[in-house]
Every structure is written in C-alpha cells, then in structure tokens.
Amino acid sequence: MLRKPETLFVLGYMLLPLLALLSAIVGLTMILGGNKIAGVIVLVVVTQVFAFGAFFALRARRTALLEEPDRQ
C-alpha cells in the first residue's frame, strides 16, 4: 500500500506537511506559554520528522512512478 503513487502523493503533498505545520504551531504555542524545553523539542524534533517524511514520500513516489509501466 505504501508503494502506490497515489498513497505517496497524499502522504507527501498533503498529510505530512499538514502535520508538520500543526506541530510547529503547537511547539510555538508551548514556547510562548512558558513550557520552553518541551516546546523546543516539539518544534525541532517532531516538526522535522514530519517534514523529512514528506520529502522521503515524494522521493519514493517519484521512483514508483518511474518503475511502473505506462498505464494510460
């Protein structure tokens, strides 16, 4: 299922970037709310995991599209 270009499209262009944006908002809210250490951890670690996950999904989609035969 994670080898299909359609699934990787949804992950790479929609779901993972949205989760990265939401975790960045949560991290900034935590920092502004006074919980600085946990906010920085969420902002740096969790946001970057989602962002790099989107890049890897897009790279996997590109290779999956190149490997599949012409389906038109």
Cα separation, 1 vs 16, in Å, equals 17
pLDDT range class, residue 71, cuts 50, 70, 90: low
CB-based contact 8:64 (threshold 8 Å): yes
pLDDT digits (tens, 9 = 90+) for 61-70: 999 888 877 6
pTM: 0.83
Run of H or E residues at 57: helix 47-67
How does the average pLDDT of the chain come out, rounded?
A: 91
pLDDT of residue 3: 80
